[in-house]
Structure 1
Amino acid sequence: MGDTPSQFAKAFPPVDLGYAIHKPTYINITASGLSVAKYNNIRFAQPPVGDLRFRKPKTPPPQTHGVQDGSQYPSTDCVSSAYAGVPFPGLNGTTWGQEDCLFVNVQVPDGIKEGDQVPVLHWIHGSGYAFGSKDTVGITVDPEGLFDNLRKSDEKFIFVTSNYRLGLYGWMSSPEEDMAANIGLHDSITAVQWTRDHISKFGGSPERITVIGQSAGAGIINLMLTSYGGSGKLPFSQVRFDIPDNYSLSTDSDVMENYVYNEVLKAAGCPDLACLRTASSDVLKAANHHLIVEVPTGTGGASFGPGIGFSPAVDGNIVPEEPMILLEQGRFHKEVQRVLAANTAFEGNGLSTDSNMPEAFPGYVRINFPTASNETIQRIQNLFPFPPDKPERLAWDWLTSIVYACHSTTITKAYGSKAYRYVMRIPPATHALDLTYFFFVDNQTTPVVSYDVARQSQEYLYQFLLGKGDKGDASLLPSPKYPAWPPYGTNFHTMDIVEHGFELKTDPWETNGICRTLIDIVKDPENGN
């Protein structure tokens, strides 16, 4: 931390952003000897405190004098509360972070300079809209394994990560109050816009930005693709999803939003928004902890907090409708050049320990479809046959489909010939397993069943990132020894990732009619509200 070693000063000079000058926080050396400069803790917006609480991020960032290296911030994590049941020992059941948290990190390999116009990968972290950061907390990735396997200068890329507000700070709102909805989504779009505006100064191309996210991060990107019903222009050209985490959003969420808002008022001991906006940071942090850690109801693993939890909401503005409906209606950003979406085969496994199925199943459905009739619930149940000795599979398969897989399927179906899709099936094929393959570093850091499958995964990711497709039908084919990966298209092409490699299949969530049925239910005014 601190001063950049003199031997790297020429390779990684200070970058003048106009409002601040940044030099590397430190230099990392990968296993193959590649030097990577890490420019950490760069502001992309004004601190969201005081009157800026519960409002969209304000730009430009504040002017800062002198050369910055980001080391003055021991942590820039947004206020995070991790429910005791999440698999992060030492963090689960705790609360940490700060409100002044709108920062990005930029990683630049040696050999890239201003004007090179290399591609950019911008990561948006996951972890249930409640915790996590651009650094190494929660579900995140490290590009070291990808950097370590750069073979030619034209394969180099820049890696950016960003924060967004979490819990009540980013996902609590009331349509009746002077506050923005979906603040975490606005934060994330603003962060990617920062990348578009400033990445050329690091050597990146503003026209070659791929946003990538997993879980809640992918859910945010899903909302970006359908933001404002497709109006305007997004600040990126490609999308790479790892498991979009969006519980089906109610088509009339005002009542649910107000319920969450009122629970926040009670937890903070406040009568109104003015009180929340002026409350001490300790009061809000305690309220966030109470509502996420001590009374976690949420939506069966997709989010945490009271009622529907702290999560995206249909607001009639940036989120005008449930994304699956907008995609079906053609109200999405068609200027995006390519999309890669995915899910693991058993996303929902373990998210429920309730073996009282099917008796308890209506409660799961009515979290977001309160008026669902018994007939509708039976219609849904019929989609998910379960073995008699494993009744909880009913809830697991429902959550796999409605929270994750059907968002992935609907995205790739909408983008058709510009979309690619895979399903991770290597056991246990549960949430986030695919990240260890696409971002493989070594078997100690990212243990995998097959080194060959990890390298194969990274080769496909390279080709997608670089905007290449080596066949006339735009198939990804990074090597003759790998199978061609055709676009999703009208044949619903999907790659299954199994122990011995990639296998071309057909999307079962589409061919079995699962997503079609669930979308019809979402659209039904009697059962979708």
Structure 2
Amino acid sequence: MRIMGLLQITVLTVIIGSTFAEDSITVTLRHGGVKGTQLTILGKTIEAYLGIPFAEPPIGRLRFQKPQPAKPWSGVLDATNPKSSCMQQGMPGIVNIKGTSEDCLFVNVWTPGRGGPLKSVMVWIHGGGFQFGSSYQDWYNASALVATQDVVVVTLNYRLGAFGFLSAHTSEAPGNVGLYDQSLALQWVRDNVDVFGGNPDEVTLLGESAGSMSIQAHILSPLSEGLFRRAIMMSGTLYCPGVAVESDDMLRRANRFARHAGCATLAKDLATHPDGVLECLRAKPAEELQVHYENFEHRIIKRFLPIHGDEFLPVAPCLAMARGLFKNVDIMGGVTQDEGTFMVIAQPDKRLLEEDLQHIIEEEMETVLHSVMRVWTPEVNSDVWRHYENQVNPSTWKVSYRKAAADYITDNLFKCPHKLLSDRLSSRESSVYSYVFGHRSEMTPLPKWAGASHAGDIFYFFGLPLVYPDQYTDGDREFSKDVMKMACTFAKQGVPELPTGEKWPRYSVEDPVSVYVKPAPPQTYALHRRIKSLKKCRLQKLLLFIKVPTYVTLGITGRYLFYRLFKGIEKLRTTDFYM
């Protein structure tokens, strides 16, 4: 069965197809000369510079440490082809990134030109659960976005998995170095983007999934102050359960990983002998260490992730948000309508991808889907899950059960966290513009039941229907132009512009309105689908705060309230999330 198509990720080995005119061009940065490529796309001449180092290679003694700024180079650096992606695992049939290395801390710059007034800048942070992904993926070809919207786009790599988030509570391995990589890249943008025609005072962060979670980390971090003005957050927040981990918990994971790699024992670990254990881990080849990492824990939510309680994130994210310890930046954020179907597709049993599920029996299906939920969520709460099970139609049990599992993931990881974040940000001075992306291309190889799945909006934000026209319909191409314009008008002026000419309404707790982004003949948009204050989202909010150490004083009372809140819901329909 042909599954992935657009979801099969490959690394961009060339940025120019046969339809592009190509030439080289050189600019001078503070670190030295850089040679890029001048190309023509959609009748517009743009420039692309791939693989500019913003940090020293994090190898040898620098493995697990905070990034060090790149040193100046002599001569002219060749930035006409992609460099290495960061070390990572793969997801069979989903992620297939080649050419990985520890020497991976590069930025890529796409610019419409260096003449005239400085242009707004959009900095892309890729997703991948902090475990995989690369700025060189085909998805992130910014040529159409730059050519049609007259903005400068920067994409970046950051360390992933054990290389990016192992924490030993020491300066030699502080944790969160993947986030420190991003912060250093943003400093590079501030100091260099004007050379490419970009305005360092007009920087908008743009990220999806883990990239969007990273953006919230920068909104909270004192170390990212003044590095950006706006943010577009696609399908990810740190309200997502299990993402921002207590540092002590991460140390326990690191010790288990070190034992798996043969570098620690129960008597000699990172807590008691950090120097020796880290020396052993640094001595291992990167490829060997990556294999150990892939084998020590199969649940992504239990691997190495961002921590709080350090210099980058001093306070637990949900507590920091409650205290108002965040920057007042304007936000455009949203989710896709059917986020959770991606996680069902990503699991290895491809029988679940069939429209009618005729080749899998009910008992097997139930086992597989519960396994999927455990991989992506810290725990499957039986009280919450029961309300999704109650929606299952006995006459179409298998299809309905699959939808219930996908809806559980959608709400738990994406929709409710998005609502919680939007509520909190809009309660201050920030302008929040919310959307729900509901479009599924007729040309997608994904099964119809997947709907508008996780990451499906990326293609349209980057204008891929214009870059690869044979893979999309005419309607997809027009829709992509609209989506790019929405995002880029927000980046330029702080308010997204609707193609209908209507004003995009601001989100607020009192008026929690979202724009439903989906073309409908004749190219109109359903504008005002409201996110309701559902009890299940209030449940998640209460659960988040019960788990914050500062709120332990709630004790039995808090847990009793949580229990009572669940018991008060006899029927909870996931379709109630949007009107």
TM-score range, shorter chain: 0.7 to 0.9
In structure 2, C-alpha distance between the alignment counterparts of 1:361 and 1:8, rounded to whole Å: 51
Bigger Cα displacement from structure 2, 35-44 vs 271-280: 271-280
Q: Could you tell me which of 340, 351, 367 is aligned with 2:343?
A: 351
Q: Could you tell me which of 398, 405, 418 is aligned with 2:408?
A: 398
The SS at the match of 2:134 is coil
The SS at the match of 1:55 is coil
Query: Which runs of structure 2 are paired with 1:307-322 in the superposition (5 Å)?
Result: 308-322=302-316
| Alignment partner, residue 71 of structure 2 | 62
Which amino acid in 2 is paired with 1:515?
Answer: C
Change (3 A) 1:119 1:53: same
The SS at the match of 1:128 is coil
Indicate if the aligned counterparts of 2:242 and 2:377 stay in contact, CA closer than 8 A: no
Cα distance, 1:200 vs structure 2:
1.3
Change (3 A) 1:458 1:248: same
Asked whether 1:208 is paired with 2:219, we answer no
Change (3 A) 1:164 1:358: closer
Change (3 A) 1:124 1:254: closer
Indicate if the aligned counterparts of 2:166 and 2:173 stay in contact, CA closer than 8 A: no
Cα distance, 1:268 vs structure 2:
2.6
Partner deviation per Cα, 1:441-479 (whole Å, 9 max, x = no partner): 33646636644332221221221121154xxxxxx4455
Q: Could you tell me which of 179, 182, 198 is aligned with 1:185?
A: 179
| Alignment partner, residue 387 of structure 1 | 392
Asked whether 1:20 is paired with 2:26, we answer no
Asked whether 1:147 is paired with 2:180, we answer no
Indicate if the aligned counterparts of 1:268 and 1:284 stay in contact, CA closer than 8 A: no
In structure 2, C-alpha distance between the alignment counterparts of 1:438 and 1:117, rounded to whole Å: 22
Q: Could you tell me which of 475, 498, 515 is aligned with 1:495?
A: 515
Which amino acid in 2 is paired with 1:243?
Answer: S
Asked whether 1:76 is paired with 2:76, we answer no
Cα distance, 1:36 vs structure 2:
1.6
In structure 1, C-alpha distance between the alignment counterparts of 2:83 and 2:188, rounded to whole Å: 21
| Alignment partner, residue 486 of structure 1 | 505
Indicate if the aligned counterparts of 2:159 and 2:177 stay in contact, CA closer than 8 A: yes
Change (3 A) 1:82 1:385: same
The SS at the match of 1:241 is strand
Cα distance, 1:267 vs structure 2:
3.5
Partner deviation per Cα, 1:377-424 (whole Å, 9 max, x = no partner): 415643785324122444322321232223322332233261111111
In structure 1, C-alpha distance between the alignment counterparts of 2:471 and 2:206, rounded to whole Å: 19
Query: Which runs of structure 2 are paired with 1:86-235 in the superposition (5 Å)?
Result: 86-88=93-95, 90-91=96-97, 96-110=99-113, 112-113=114-115, 116-136=117-137, 140-150=139-149, 156-175=150-169, 178-228=172-222, 233-235=225-227
Partner deviation per Cα, 1:297-319 (whole Å, 9 max, x = no partner): 224xxx5xxxx122222334422
In structure 1, C-alpha distance between the alignment counterparts of 2:112 and 2:148, rounded to whole Å: 12
Indicate if the aligned counterparts of 1:384 and 1:398 stay in contact, CA closer than 8 A: no
| Alignment partner, residue 473 of structure 1 | none
In structure 1, C-alpha distance between the alignment counterparts of 2:542 and 2:365, rounded to whole Å: 28
Which amino acid in 2 is paired with 1:462?
Answer: C
In structure 1, C-alpha distance between the alignment counterparts of 2:256 and 2:461, rounded to whole Å: 40
In structure 2, C-alpha distance between the alignment counterparts of 1:463 and 1:193, rounded to whole Å: 24
In structure 2, C-alpha distance between the alignment counterparts of 1:385 and 1:498, rounded to whole Å: 29
Indicate if the aligned counterparts of 2:257 and 2:292 stay in contact, CA closer than 8 A: no
The SS at the match of 1:211 is strand
Cα distance, 1:188 vs structure 2:
0.7
Partner deviation per Cα, 1:209-253 (whole Å, 9 max, x = no partner): 01111111111112111225xx87240001011111654237873
Which amino acid in 1 is paired with 2:502?
Answer: P
In structure 1, C-alpha distance between the alignment counterparts of 2:224 and 2:129, rounded to whole Å: 28
In structure 1, C-alpha distance between the alignment counterparts of 2:542 and 2:285, rounded to whole Å: 43
Q: Could you tell me which of 259, 263, 278 is aligned with 2:256?
A: 263
Change (3 A) 1:446 1:262: farther
Query: Which runs of structure 2 are paired with 1:465-476 in the superposition (5 Å)?
Result: 465-467=491-493, 469=495, 476=496
In structure 2, C-alpha distance between the alignment counterparts of 1:257 and 1:148, rounded to whole Å: 43
| Alignment partner, residue 440 of structure 1 | 463
| Alignment partner, residue 545 of structure 2 | 523
Indicate if the aligned counterparts of 2:299 and 2:374 stay in contact, CA closer than 8 A: no
Q: Could you tell me which of 322, 328, 335 is aligned with 1:328?
A: 322
Change (3 A) 1:392 1:357: farther
Cα distance, 1:135 vs structure 2:
1.3
| Alignment partner, residue 284 of structure 1 | 286
Change (3 A) 1:391 1:380: closer
Cα distance, 1:359 vs structure 2:
11
Asked whether 1:455 is paired with 2:449, we answer no
Which amino acid in 2 is paired with 1:20?
Answer: G
- Root-mean-square deviation (CA, aligned residues, Å) is 3.3
Indicate if the aligned counterparts of 1:421 and 1:495 stay in contact, CA closer than 8 A: yes
| Alignment partner, residue 347 of structure 2 | none
| Alignment partner, residue 49 of structure 2 | 39
Which amino acid in 1 is paired with 2:461?
Answer: F
Indicate if the aligned counterparts of 1:35 and 1:109 stay in contact, CA closer than 8 A: yes
Which amino acid in 1 is paired with 2:256?
Answer: E
Indicate if the aligned counterparts of 1:381 and 1:394 stay in contact, CA closer than 8 A: no
In structure 2, C-alpha distance between the alignment counterparts of 1:200 and 1:51, rounded to whole Å: 33
Asked whether 1:29 is paired with 2:40, we answer yes
Cα distance, 1:82 vs structure 2:
0.8
Cα distance, 1:330 vs structure 2:
1.6
Bigger Cα displacement from structure 2, 233-242 vs 126-135: 126-135
Indicate if the aligned counterparts of 2:29 and 2:192 stay in contact, CA closer than 8 A: no
Indicate if the aligned counterparts of 1:22 and 1:67 stay in contact, CA closer than 8 A: yes
In structure 2, C-alpha distance between the alignment counterparts of 1:517 and 1:36, rounded to whole Å: 49
The SS at the match of 2:487 is helix
Indicate if the aligned counterparts of 2:299 and 2:376 stay in contact, CA closer than 8 A: no
In structure 1, C-alpha distance between the alignment counterparts of 2:417 and 2:173, rounded to whole Å: 28
Which amino acid in 2 is paired with 1:399?
Answer: I
In structure 2, C-alpha distance between the alignment counterparts of 1:451 and 1:108, rounded to whole Å: 22
In structure 1, C-alpha distance between the alignment counterparts of 2:452 and 2:173, rounded to whole Å: 40
Indicate if the aligned counterparts of 2:51 and 2:82 stay in contact, CA closer than 8 A: no
Partner deviation per Cα, 1:321-363 (whole Å, 9 max, x = no partner): 44344323322112x2x11111111111252467438995998
Which amino acid in 2 is paired with 1:109?
Answer: P
Cα distance, 1:440 vs structure 2:
2.3
Give the TM-score normalised by structure 2. 0.74
Query: Runs of 5+ in structure 2 lacking a partner?
Result: 1-13, 15-21, 345-351, 353-363, 441-450, 547-551, 563-579
In structure 2, C-alpha distance between the alignment counterparts of 1:210 and 1:219, rounded to whole Å: 15
Which amino acid in 2 is paired with 1:216?
Answer: A
In structure 1, C-alpha distance between the alignment counterparts of 2:476 and 2:195, rounded to whole Å: 38
Which amino acid in 1 is paired with 2:59?
Answer: V
In structure 1, C-alpha distance between the alignment counterparts of 2:208 and 2:282, rounded to whole Å: 32
Change (3 A) 1:468 1:226: closer
In structure 2, C-alpha distance between the alignment counterparts of 1:507 and 1:281, rounded to whole Å: 54
Asked whether 1:430 is paired with 2:453, we answer yes
In structure 1, C-alpha distance between the alignment counterparts of 2:479 and 2:23, rounded to whole Å: 35
Partner deviation per Cα, 1:22-48 (whole Å, 9 max, x = no partner): 131x2221032x222112221112221
Indicate if the aligned counterparts of 1:357 and 1:391 stay in contact, CA closer than 8 A: no
